[in-house]
Amino acid sequence: RTVYVNGEYLPETEAKVSIFDRGFLFADAVYEVTSVLDGKLIDFDGHAVRLQRSLDELEMASPCSKEDLLEVHRKLVELNGIDEGLIYLQVTRGSDGDRDFVFPSEDTPPSLVLFTQNKPGLADSPAAKKGAKVISIEDIRWGRRDIKTVQLLYPSMGKMMAKKAGCDDAWLVEDGYVTEGTSNNAYFVKNGTIVTRPLSNDILHGITRKAVLRMAQEAQMKIEERLFTIEEAQGADEAFTTSASAFVMPVIEIDGVQLGDGTPGPIARRLREIYLEESRNAAV
């Protein structure tokens, strides 16, 4: 695999970042994951805009322009022959060669790293045909989940808890209400209405969430953005999650309670189809 590190395209075995890099020592870094279908980028613009917002919120310097970023994404897709897959991008605050809680001086260059993940069959995924089983766990993450930082230890632990329980993923619950999934936004559908938590600092402002809600609205589906509990979702007709890496993923079970007939629901399936088709057409 050829990867990108600070201006260079290198074999992955030759790519290096300092052990003093604040991304490594303090999780002082933000990231984006953009999917690739037919060798093209899905919603590159949305990811570039959110990246800039994350950087601004953390007063981190931009490593390069949006145009240069697009160029790097495209070059990596080409060099690695990606037809379907993902591109991971990470910007860290860099380092001035020591460990210090105080940020390094402002002229310290940020680090920019990108790599591809080849995922043939990403769109036609067997997991999406089967649907996901989720468990609920307490949301004990920090209070700025709207910033896409690499502090992913708790979501990673949540995923492991789900695996140990024979499930696929975990939904996080704070003050009795579902925030989101470990790496996706969460929805349920009752009597034709799609319900999801409103945007705030409590959840990541999903790029896929924005696109799917727009498409649902265009398809005359009803949407309510409000808080909801696990119990309410368990009583739903169907449920699903959205993310750039899994698109629309039907959810068929929540904490052992089967939804509907235990197969992906019609609205989740339809939204997945619409999302994939429209996104392919708009890919760059």
Would you say 132 or 204 has its CB closer to ligand PLP? Answer: 204
Contact of 189 with 159, CB cutoff 8 Å: no
Q: How far is CA 124 from CA 36, 128, 170, 250, 276, in A?
A: 13, 8, 23, 13, 10
In the complex, least distance from residue 228 CB atom to ligand PLP, rounded to whole angstroms: 16
Residues 6+ apart with CB under 8 A from 231: none
* CA distance linking residue 3 with residue 51, whole number of Å: 19
Selected from 206, 250, 264, 265, the binder of ligand PLP by CB under 6 A is 206
CB of 6 to ligand PLP, least distance (A): 24
- Using CB under 6 A as the binding rule, whether residue 184 contacts ligand PLP is answered as yes
User: Does the protein bind ligand PLP through residue 207 (CB under 6 A)?
Assistant: yes
At its nearest, how many Å lie between ligand PLP and the CB of residue 223? 16
Query: 254 and 134 in contact (C-beta within 8 Å)?
Result: yes
- 54, 136, 183, 279: residue in contact with ligand PLP (rule CB under 6 A): 183
Binding positions for ligand PLP, 227-246, rule CB under 6 A: 242-244
- What is the nearest approach in angstroms of ligand PLP to the Cβ of residue 36? 14
Q: Which of 129, 148, 164, 222 is catalytic?
A: 148
User: Taking Cα atoms as reference points, which of 147, 223, 226, 135 lies closest to residue 182?
Assistant: 135
End-to-end Cα spacing for the chain: 22
Binding mask 15-54 for ligand PLP (x = CB under 6 A): ------------------x---------------------
Tell me if residue 211 falls in helix, strand or coil.
helix
Closest separation in Å from C-beta 58 to ligand PLP? 16
Q: Is 40 a catalytic residue?
A: no
Q: Is 180 a residue that touches ligand PLP (CB under 6 A)?
A: yes
| Nearest CA among 86, 84, 87, 65 for reference residue 4 | 87
Per CB under 6 A, the list member of 116, 136, 149, 185 interacting with ligand PLP is: 185
d(CA 254, CA 180): 13
Which residues in this chain contact ligand PLP in the complex, by CB under 6 A? 33, 180, 183-185, 204, 206-209, 242-244
For the annotated catalytic residues, the residue numbers are: 148
